[in-house]
Structure 1
Amino acid sequence: MSDCYLPRLGGIEVQVADLVRMQREAGHQVEVATATRGEPLEGVHRVVARMPFDLPVHPRGVGRITRLLTSSRPDVVHVHTGAVSPFAWMGVRAAVRTGLPVVVTVHSMWDPVTRALYRALGLTYEWQRWGLIATTVSTAAAAPIRSVAGRSVPVHVVSNGLDLSGWRGLGPGGSGEGVHIVAVGRLAPRKHPVRLLKALESARRGVPSSIPMRATIVGEGPARGSMERYLAKHGMTGWVSLPGRYTREQIAKLLESADLFVAPAPLESFGIAALEARAAGLPVVARARSGVADFVRHGEEGLLARSSSDLATAMARLSADDDLRARIAAHNHETEPTAGSWASVLAGFDAAYEEAVNRPLRNV
């Protein structure tokens, strides 16, 4: 059960589609219910309302999903949500009403506003007492959910799944022209892209002028205009580039010329691009309280920062210290990442399903 699914290509959509494929290959029978319009796909039920806008909402969603679940009678319902996912939560209510075990996977970090919303919903609907099992993608993402759900809802960490074999050993080859810093992600305010530019500017001041630096920030989004204005105003267009959206093949090629990778968002629930860069061998600079900290240890796979100023200091340190950068890169080349393997992801969800099946449900 997911608000969005293929043909949309966001992070949750791709992750859910990959999970469906891997679970089917493992022998599970998997069907998908989604509010996303699109072409017919085997085992995909598109619960779409006739509305002038394309949003994951349905005025009779609970009833439609209830009828679907009643006819198919799955062993367990696995619901995938972002911060706020109206269709997915309709699926949760329908599944609990039908008496089916439910696992809810939260793919996003709950910020203070989101936590307040779910507390209010808890007072109204008492969702904490529905007998749910929850999973999320990182230790950092689990903490705010537990603070709201309390002890009534078990919250387990099951990371996103990735095939990292194609990323192993790609970098850091370096450009041979100083230090090349790379970031990959949507250029959206919640990812703090302008703060990244400020941190890069500060890092440049902290590195000797004899060391050339350049940065490539891959991605597209609503913050591009603000970033372009900042670069022009602060004279950074000569060494910071915004090439737009890249394919996976283009990103892999870029990492071959990179020296380090930066993931600036403090509310990054997992950090797929950072994990791919770490698998490629790049030292990673990220926020200490983000999901990246599950697979990047400070001083081992990269450097972790507690603030934007710390982020700048970490980038400057790795840019100026060739020995530290080489040591971390060698470690990343020699060791497999501790997150992301599909074997561990499938095992984690299987355990959550079993727990949900054995957990008493309460009708709503």
Structure 2
Amino acid sequence: MSVLRVTHYSGDRLGGAARAAYRLHQALGGRQEAFSRMVVADKTNDDTTVRGASPRLSSRLAAVLSPTLDALPLRLGAPPDAMPRSTGWSGRIGAAAINAEPTDLVHLHWICAGFLSIETIGRIRKPVVWTLHDMWAFCGAEHLAEDGPGARWRHGYDPALTTGRFDVDRWTWRRKRAHWRTPMRIVTPSRWLAQCVADSTLMGAWPVSVIPNPLDLSRFKPMDRAAARRLLNLPAEKPLVLFGAIRGTQLSYKGWDLLQPALAKVAREQPGVEAVLFGQSEPSDPPRLGLPLHWMGHVSDDFTLSALYSAADLLVVPSRQESFGQTGSEAQACGCPVVAFDATGLRDVVAHGESGLLARPFDSGDLADAMLAVLRDDARRGVMSVQARARAERLWSYDAVARQYLDLYRDAVPR
């Protein structure tokens, strides 16, 4: 069997998409059937199979200018909804460089913020697999959008719905439609996101597969709870509820506004519970919810993340929208049950009653009741912990996920 040569392109610097892309690269690197390389916006490790982007300007100047240039059209008419957007207007890598790569297949991941332009993607002449980590690929400029029947991505950004200002979402969507003539193989980490792709005007006829994000289960594994709490300087005996997301208290789709009343109800009905938050530092005016809040700051290394999950009694993911919910899979790999809303990609991550509980969307009271049900039943929580780890081993191991991608690659590369 010939070795498949794959080159990944990942423009995300700090988020979950960057971690998911690199983990897949590592998973493939351990297989004899594939030779995996990776091109990233900014290289931060000493992995010789990963290289930084080769920009037209110097690396440092390009890293600063590319996101700024890409955001310039947003000043002309970005809607006032505060949703993150990218125009795909500028890019650090041209199509000629991608096409010259000695590779059989190009694998795109999160490529916005001036990493690859819409036009560049349309000029790639090698087979393309694209793993979506949000909704941007089939939307306009939006990374996240409402998914109801009236969603604009379902109907082709009808100009009749355009306001008087410059419609940056329609402009971006039309450029995608004009330049992306050849269907790419799309991968989503959840059934919800795959259904969105299938329902979209832009990509509805393109092939789409559901493959979850992989985890290194030798890193994400249960630790001794008492040792993890000592390491993190957390209370030894208190019930701990964990919540984590980069800028999680600032991004509306992460559901911090839904979690606050839920935590306040938990505090009233289960005295002694404390909350642990990671992903950002303590704000200048922290909320008063009736229970102690431990702010752990930004955490990026797998060991500390594993310690946090192992120290907690449960992880709560109150998101309104998640393409997958990577903290949920990481927590389960460490034997930590997960409580979330029964919505979007989290339906695929949490097995209700097995590895955690799913609450009614987006009912803060029901979310609180689900957390209380886990906290109050030590025996049930212990069973969930064992089942959560078994679920991670079955679904998210490097071997399980790499095998699915290799099958997809073989189908994509002409024989």
Question: Do the two structures share a fold, i.e. TM-score over 0.5?
Answer: yes
Any idea what SS the aligned residue of 2:247 has?
coil
Corresponding position of 1:362: none
Post-superposition offset of 1:170: 2.6
Corresponding position of 1:346: 402
Cα 1:331–1:45 shift into 2, 3 Å? closer
CA distance in 1, matches of 2:241, 2:388: 17
Corresponding position of 2:256: 193
Which blocks of at least 5 consecutive residues in structure 2 are unaligned?
1-7, 71-87, 136-142, 158-171, 230-234
Corresponding position of 1:29: 35
| Conservation of the 8 A alpha-carbon contact between 2:127 and 2:413 | yes
| Conservation of the 8 A alpha-carbon contact between 1:187 and 1:193 | no
Residue number among 69, 75, 93 corresponding to 2:98 in the alignment: 69
Which blocks of at least 5 consecutive residues in structure 1 are unaligned?
360-364
Any idea what SS the aligned residue of 2:123 has?
helix
Whether 1:20 and 2:21 are equivalent positions in the alignment is no
* 252-261 vs 110-119, which moves further: 110-119
Post-superposition offset of 1:127: 6.1
Corresponding position of 2:132: 106
- Residue correspondence of structure 1 range 191-340 to structure 2 within 5 A: 191-205=254-268, 207-209=269-271, 212-220=272-280, 225=283, 229-231=285-287, 234=288, 236=290, 239-246=292-299, 247-305=301-359, 306-309=361-364, 310-332=366-388, 336-340=392-396
Whether 1:47 and 2:54 are equivalent positions in the alignment is yes
CA distance in 1, matches of 2:321, 2:65: 27
Q: Which has the higher helix share?
A: 1
Residue number among 129, 134, 152 corresponding to 1:116 in the alignment: 152
Post-superposition offset of 1:267: 1.4
Cα 1:275–1:235 shift into 2, 3 Å? closer
1:177-209: CA deviations, max 9, x gaps? 34211122212313223432222112223x244
Corresponding position of 1:11: 16
Post-superposition offset of 1:216: 0.6
Residue-pair matches, total: 343
User: One-letter code of the match for 1:268?
Assistant: E
User: One-letter code of the match for 1:202?
Assistant: K
Post-superposition offset of 1:61: 4.5
CA distance in 1, matches of 2:133, 2:218: 23
CA distance in 2, matches of 1:39, 1:299: 39
Cα 1:66–1:332 shift into 2, 3 Å? closer
CA distance in 2, matches of 1:200, 1:315: 9
Computed over aligned residues only, the root mean square deviation of the Cα atoms, in angstroms, reads: 3.5
Any idea what SS the aligned residue of 2:217 has?
coil
Post-superposition offset of 1:117: 6.1
Corresponding position of 2:194: 142
User: One-letter code of the match for 1:316?
Assistant: L
Any idea what SS the aligned residue of 1:77 has?
strand
Post-superposition offset of 1:218: 1.4
Cα 1:89–1:136 shift into 2, 3 Å? farther
Q: Which has the higher contact order (CA 8 A, sep 6+)?
A: 1
Any idea what SS the aligned residue of 1:112 has?
coil
* 333-342 vs 113-122, which moves further: 113-122
Post-superposition offset of 1:301: 0.8
Post-superposition offset of 1:33: 4.0
CA distance in 1, matches of 2:310, 2:254: 24
CA distance in 2, matches of 1:54, 1:240: 38
What is the aligned-residue identity percentage?
24
1:270-325: CA deviations, max 9, x gaps? 22222121122222101211423223211111101221422222112222333432
Post-superposition offset of 1:239: 1.6
Residue number among 211, 223, 244 corresponding to 1:158 in the alignment: 211
Any idea what SS the aligned residue of 1:72 has?
coil
CA distance in 2, matches of 1:82, 1:320: 44
CA distance in 1, matches of 2:118, 2:9: 9
Any idea what SS the aligned residue of 1:26 has?
coil
